[in-house]
Amino acid sequence: MASLREELSDLFQGWPPLWARCRRQGLVRSLPDLALSVGLTIAMFSFFILLEVWDFSRLAWSFINPRSPRHRERRERNYERQALSKLFLVAPDHSVSLFAPSTEDERAGKHRMSLKPCLLFDRVPIEVRRHILLLAFGDRTLHMDLRFRKRLNLVLEKPYEGWDVHARILDYLTPVDAQLLASESSRWRWFGCVCHRFPPEGPRHLSLGRRCNNPWNHFREPDIDRCLDGAGECNKWPDKWPGKCQIGVLGWLLACRRAYAEGVEVLYKTNTIHISSPVLLRCIQDLIPRQRLADMTSLELVWKPKQLPLRLGFTGRKGSPPFEAPLFPSLRHLRISFYRLVYGEIDEATGLQWPYESQDELSRALHERLFPEIDSVLERIAPPSAEVVVSCSKWEWYEVVDLHLLEKQGPAKTQLQRAEIEGLKCWRETPRRTSAAEAEHSQQPPVQRDGYWIHMCFEDVHLDSGRE
């Protein structure tokens, strides 16, 4: 009602001059003007009251009408949550092991002897088989995505010769949502493909399918990857389209148990998994078996704090069973990137609006808010031995962090240097934390992370604005 009071106060501001004129001219002479003013005041007052009643009735009708946008959005959110709950892993009453139980080894051995020998598994050494699988399915960056959306409109032919259509998805330059089938209903849908944001030649190859962004290209950073929108450098890769964009491992995994065991090991242990889906960043442990998470050795995470606050990263769904940290015990490389900010947008990672007004406020927000949240996430998911790189969203991040670390840690520990993935990086030591119980009983604290790299991609490096 504050707005109504303001409107009424504006309405009655004209009355004092009117009363003054009435006193000067007399009541009889001013009667026509007075009657007109009273009529207009009553009309405007009634109009404002009707507006408030109309707004209130619309609000009430949105609660009463089951077909209102409010109820429709609520039903969609409930359906989205219920559909997601059906995807969560539930331990079956009678689980079946991938391999036969040890008590049946002899029976299984006799059964295998009665069958014809498998030339691949019986004659080809395991080292050779693994090398073949590595060439077929390993040493790449793979996209793992789960979103509540309509089904992708996967084309069978390219619209134009030479047009890059990655993974059969219509190019992101086409009209909005053209890659989605409007006739399909929205539901949780998995999608995976090979990352083709890098060409096969040029950028230096790193371990586990990672690449160095040199020669530099704008669309080769994880946060602006467009593979899931249908854009990539597919035409520069060998082999036939669209098979070269697909992982192509499903047929091998379904061949037999032994093929599955060897194939899934190569799939998760020798590739970098790129994840930008908020639901996977929060509760991947409820959607993928723990033994597969234990196999992952390299992750590329793209975070948008507006969709998922960093403090909720990998905390699981409500009621999720606890897990023993770290969630990815075999992790060797982890890169965390943040989506780029647009002018005037609130940076949910720091709580400040970009462009930032004060470097001091930004520095406090990064060191007192963002980095402690990153420390907590790393404790949950990564072993202390994993190499962690946190890519800054803007140059302002890196500038204030670098200056702060130089003052606090000194140049020797900050280790400003050129990054392996291209750009600049500096070392941030993780604050040591000892619990009260450990201090009281003089217990040896668990192994903690020494620190991680703060990285700035080559595109946003502004050496002229930094220190001398």
The residue segments making up the domain with residue 332 are: 128-432+446-465
Q: What is the pLDDT along the chain (468 residues), one digit of tens a residue?
A: 455 566 556 555 666 666 666 666 666 666 676 677 777 777 777 887 888 888 888 778 777 777 777 767 777 777 788 888 888 866 554 445 555 444 444 554 544 554 556 777 778 888 999 999 999 999 999 999 999 988 887 888 877 777 778 898 876 555 555 556 666 788 899 999 999 999 998 888 999 999 998 888 878 899 999 999 888 898 899 888 888 999 989 999 998 888 999 999 999 999 999 999 999 999 999 999 999 999 999 999 999 999 999 999 999 988 788 888 899 999 999 999 999 888 888 999 999 998 899 999 999 999 999 999 999 999 999 999 999 999 998 899 999 999 999 999 999 999 889 999 999 999 999 987 655 554 555 455 567 889 999 999 887 776 655 444
For the chain, how many structural domains are there in total?
Answer: 1
Instruction: Tell me, yes or no, whether 70 lies in a domain.
Output: no
Give the Cβ contact number of residue 75 at 10 Å. 12
Structure-block tokens of residue 168: 């059969």
Instruction: Tell me, yes or no, whether 333 lies in a domain.
Output: yes
Instruction: Tell me, yes or no, whether 440 lies in a domain.
Output: no
Cβ-contact 193, 227 below 8 angstroms: yes
Instruction: Tell me, yes or no, whether 104 lies in a domain.
Output: no
Question: Angle at CA 98, nearest 5°, toward 96 and 101?
Answer: 70
Instruction: Tell me, yes or no, whether 91 lies in a domain.
Output: no
Cβ-contact 229, 179 below 8 angstroms: yes
Cβ-contact 234, 104 below 8 angstroms: no
Instruction: Tell me, yes or no, whether 307 lies in a domain.
Output: yes
The letter for the amino acid at 334 is L
Query: How far is C-alpha 11 from the geometric centre of its chain's CA atoms?
Result: 51
Query: How far is C-alpha 394 from the geometric centre of its chain's CA atoms?
Result: 17
Query: How far is C-alpha 443 from the geometric centre of its chain's CA atoms?
Result: 38
Instruction: Tell me, yes or no, whether 213 lies in a domain.
Output: yes
Single pTM value for the model = 0.80
Cβ-contact 441, 452 below 8 angstroms: no
Instruction: Tell me, yes or no, whether 360 lies in a domain.
Output: yes
